[in-house]
A = this chain, B = another copy of it.
Amino acid sequence: METSNVPSFPPNAVIREVGLRDGLQSIQRILPTERKIEWIAGAYAAGQREIEVGSFVPARLLPQLADTAELVTYAKTLPGLRVSVLVPNLKGAGRAIETGADLMLVPLSASRAHSLANLRKTPDEVVAEVARIRAARDAAGSKTLIEGGIGTAFGCTIQGRVEQPEVLRCLQALLDAGADRVSIADTVGYAGPAAVRELFEKARDIAGERFWCGHFHDTRGLALANVYAALETGVARFDATLAGIGGCPHAPGASGNASSEDLAFMLAGMGLETGIDIAALLALRAMVARWLEGETLHGTLWLAGLPTTHAATATTDA
């Protein structure tokens, strides 16, 4: 009988809810601010403790997220909630610092072609911007963490292949420029679990605990397999969206993000503590699904329900 080689997973895991940002930015309709506040309150009541509430981008570009400052202000009233926002540049970072967000994610695209098309900057120009953001943050005496998020890390619809050494070079450059955290995203759903495991191990070797989040799209059905592979490398924080909303504008109807509720179910089944009451999260999903009627939603657990063997792990008033 061979020695068992079962990996030891981290005891806790975090699902960072990014539905209010990555989800809503890909939906045309604008969810009213009071609905978003209800969503944040519901996610908090269900046990979620990290939420990306929006982006500090010009409102003319993403009118859906124009109320981000108001949402940060509200979310900061919830004790123990880590409030994050996406910022594309120094100007956005200034607003994140002003509003007192706990973390600002600066996206960098490892695909040069994607970076130029979407950010109008090369990857190295984004790194330079992170250095300026770091200087501004420190000068302001702010505690807002800076996360460099490397997108298109497994390939890109424009450029095609994205080489691993380039991803790792960007990761090191972000750290050198002063990012407190780095994360890796499969922006277009090209990743598979073997590639995730290999890249995430190398990223952990470089960044240690500062490499702390994986972001997987479910475009080709592999988001949860990719999370599992990432967990095996010790990474224990994942972006996900309620009802899996969001995704690639180039493939209408294709699955968007990992769905928060399915991911919570997988993690619970693995014995990882997330603090989430899945039944409460499913109730929240039902509410948000009503608000987004007509939009393409995803996930499977809402339809099948929890197994009869699923033990409630927390009580909430949701």
Query: Which A residues fall within an 8 A CB radius of B?
Result: 1-2, 4-7, 9, 155, 157, 160-161, 188-195, 197-198, 201, 205, 218-222, 224-225, 227-229, 248, 251, 253-255, 259, 262, 265-266, 269-271, 299-301, 303-305, 307-309
A205 in contact with B270 (CB, 8 Å) = no
Closest to A262 in B: B221
A192–B225 alpha-carbon span in the complex (Å): 10
A201 in contact with B155 (CB, 8 Å) = no
B251 in contact with A305 (CB, 8 Å) = yes
Q: Which of B189, B254, B309 is close to A161, meaning CB atoms less than 8 Å apart?
A: B309
A218–B218 alpha-carbon span in the complex (Å): 14
A56–B45 alpha-carbon span in the complex (Å): 52
Q: For residue A316, give the distance in angstroms from its CB to the closest CB of chain B.
A: 21
Q: A205-B1, A221-B262 are in contact. Are A192 and B304 (CB under 8 A)?
A: no
Residues of B within 8 A of A6 (CB): 197-198, 201
Chain A interface SS verdict (over half): loop
B304 in contact with A248 (CB, 8 Å) = yes
A308 in contact with B265 (CB, 8 Å) = no
Copies of the protein in its oligomer: 2
Top 7 A-B pairs, shortest CB-CB distance: A192-B269, A194-B270, A221-B300, A254-B304, A221-B262, A225-B225, A224-B225
Residues of B within 8 A of A309 (CB): 155, 160-161, 190
Q: For residue A290, give the distance in angstroms from its CB to the closest CB of chain B.
A: 18
A222 in contact with B266 (CB, 8 Å) = yes
Q: For residue A110, give the distance in angstroms from its CB to the closest CB of chain B.
A: 14
A219 in contact with B5 (CB, 8 Å) = no
| 13 examples of A-B residue contacts, CB within 8 angstroms | A155-B309, A160-B309, A189-B307, A190-B307, A193-B270, A220-B301, A221-B259, A221-B299, A222-B224, A225-B266, A255-B300, A255-B303, A255-B304
Residues of B within 8 A of A308 (CB): 155, 157, 160
A265–B195 alpha-carbon span in the complex (Å): 13
Q: For residue A272, give the distance in angstroms from its CB to the closest CB of chain B.
A: 9
Residues of B within 8 A of A224 (CB): 221-222, 224-225
Residues of B within 8 A of A299 (CB): 221
Residues of B within 8 A of A189 (CB): 304, 307
